[in-house]
Amino acid sequence: MREFDKISIQEMSKEDMLMIIEALEYTGSKTKVQEFINLKNSILKELSSLAESSEEEFLAYLNSSCKSQSFV
């Protein structure tokens, strides 16, 4: 198996990304394990940077794009 340091999410759907973000938020808030919240924040920061938007704008975009599916 090849070793790698980073993973690309190029082919991930918006729905899947929103589900991951919401799952990390939910798990972090329910378990009080800060690492889940930190990971969610890190992912959101990277994605919003790639989209050249604020984290709030990016999350609103994901939510509006996937509004028929609210996972949490």
Q: What is the pLDDT of residues 50-63, one digit of tens each?
A: 889 999 999 999 88
Contact between 16 and 69 (Cβ < 8 Å): no
Residues 12-27: b if buried by 16+ CB within 10 A, e if exposed? eeeeebbbbbbebbeb
Q: Following DSSP, what letter does each residue of 30-52 receive, concatenated? A: HH--HHHHHHHHHHHHHHHHHTT
| pLDDT for the residue numbered 39 | 96
Indicate whether 15 pLDDT > 60. yes
pTM comes to 0.77
Give the mean pLDDT of the chain.
87
pLDDT confidence bin for 66, thresholds 50/70/90: confident
- Dihedral sign, Cα of residue 8, residue 65, residue 44, residue 21: negative
